[in-house]
Amino acid sequence: MTTKASANQDAIAMLTAEHREVKQMFEQFEQMTDRAKVSKKKLADQICEALILHTAIEEEIFYPAVREAVDEAEDKLDEALVEHASAKDLIAQIQEMDPGDELYDAKVKVLSEQVEHHVEEEEKEMFPMARKGGLDLAALGEEMAQRKQELKTTR
């Protein structure tokens, strides 16, 4: 989802860039017609893969670092993990489906809405807490970029 340049970004910049990329993919999906089944499937699979990698680095690296550094972030982090679980369930359903299946577009749309809500909370509430928490966001970003590359090669 991100380029090699992301290794030089701080953790929040990296996650925010990924949020924008996924949003653009969802918008592109919305513009596709029912006749573009192959393209829809390919794009939906890209969205799902991007979200799988994104949630993995958040859960493995970013969230634990924020939890350790910011006491008041606990509830937000718990909520984010529940939102991730819900998204993962929808992602699994979408990956098993074909664009011609009943509810395919609806599931992608609901995933888009859930992700939009999740992103808004992260960017407006959690990220500012993380910045105030004194985390080394550059080192965290580097660790996350490395982990993401590892995950890409094992998928």
Q: What is the pLDDT of residues 12-36, one digit of tens each?
A: 999 999 999 999 999 999 999 888 9
Closest by CA to 132, choosing from 54, 71, 60, 49, is 71
Is residue 7 scored above 50 in pLDDT? Answer: no
Domain boundaries, the chain: 4-154
Residue owning tokens 């998204």: 87
Measured distance CA(119)–CA(23) in Å, rounded: 10
CATH of 4-154, one of 1.10.600, 1.20.120, 1.10.3470, 1.10.10: 1.20.120
80-137 pLDDT tens trace: 999 999 999 999 999 999 999 999 999 999 999 999 999 999 999 999 999 999 999 9
Across residues 63-72, what is the average pLDDT? 96
Identity of the amino acid at 6: S
Global pTM value: 0.92
Measured distance CA(118)–CA(19) in Å, rounded: 10
